[in-house]
Amino acid sequence: MDLVNFGLRLAKLRNTKCVSARDMSISIGMSPNYINKIERGKSRPSMDAFFDICDYLNITQKDFFDEDNGDPKRFGEYVSDLMLLDNATQSHVAGIVKELGRNR
């Protein structure tokens, strides 16, 4: 993922959390314009800062790079809830989800 796409992904995930770039920057202990610079492709976070960003967003580093997943936090919650169900119920839920996808 290049700098521009990294910044776009960060902006998308940040907006999903409904927080400003300034507030996020300050919350992770950086200067107020830190996240803005990354989102504009002007800067790249250090590895430690990237981990802080993912922690702040409540996502894994893998989730960050999964561009097909627009809301990794919510998706993770769905999976966690699904794992609490027995196998038969999981199969029923899978059938419902498939049917909903076809009716889209």
> Cα–Cα distance between 14 and 21 in angstroms, integer?
7
Name the nearest CA neighbour of 45 among 18, 81, 21, 15: 21
Number of domains in the chain: 2
> Cα–Cα distance between 19 and 89 in angstroms, integer?
36
Query: First and final CA of the chain: distance in angstroms?
Result: 30
Specify the pLDDT at position 68.
84
Looking at the structure, tell me whether residues 34 and 20 fall in a common domain: yes
Domain assignment of residue 34, given as a range:
1-69
> Cα–Cα distance between 75 and 80 in angstroms, integer?
9
> Cα–Cα distance between 76 and 58 in angstroms, integer?
10
pLDDT in tens, 34-92: 999 999 999 999 999 999 999 999 999 999 998 888 788 888 888 889 999 999 999 99
Looking at the structure, tell me whether residues 10 and 21 fall in a common domain: yes
